[in-house]
Structure 1
Amino acid sequence: MYALDALKTMKIGEVLEVIADCPQSFRSVPEEAVKHGYELVTEPEKDGQDIYFYIKVVE
């Protein structure tokens, strides 16, 4: 997941917007983010086929 690589380069407090179009990402992106110590800022938002995630670097 490229988002995890991007999150590693970010500073505490920064938020990454992830846009996905795969239905599996609705579950897998939040699970992986939390598993690696990041925080999901909001519930995933769906707009048509796109799913938006906002992930915050907390530590």
Structure 2
Amino acid sequence: MYALDALKTMKIREVLQVIADCPQSFRSVPEEAVKHGYKLLAEPKKVGQDIYFYIKVVQ
């Protein structure tokens, strides 16, 4: 997942916006983010076919 690669290069308190169009990402993106120690800032939001995630670097 490219989002995890991007998060690894970010600093504490920075937020990554992820936009996905795969229905499976609604579940997999939050699970992977939390599993790797990041914080999901809000519930994923679906707009049309796109799903928006906001992930914060906390450590």
TM-score tier (shorter):
over 0.9
AA aligned to 2:43 is E
Instruction: Look up the match of 1:3.
Output: 3
Instruction: Look up the match of 2:20.
Output: 20
Please tell me the root mean square deviation across aligned C-alpha atoms, in Å: 0.2
The yes-or-no answer on 1:39 pairing with 2:39 is yes
Instruction: Look up the match of 1:49.
Output: 49
AA aligned to 2:19 is I
4+ residue runs of structure 1 moved beyond 3 angstroms? none
Tell me the number of residue pairs that the alignment of Structure 1 and Structure 2 aligns.
Answer: 59
Task: Give the TM-score normalised by the residue count of structure 1.
Answer: 0.99
1:2-59 Cα shifts (integer Å, max 9, x gaps): 0000000000000000000000000000000000000000100000000000000000
Unaligned 5+ runs, structure 1 = none
Unaligned 5+ runs, structure 2 = none
Distance in structure 2 (CA, Å) of the matches to 1:41 and 1:10: 16
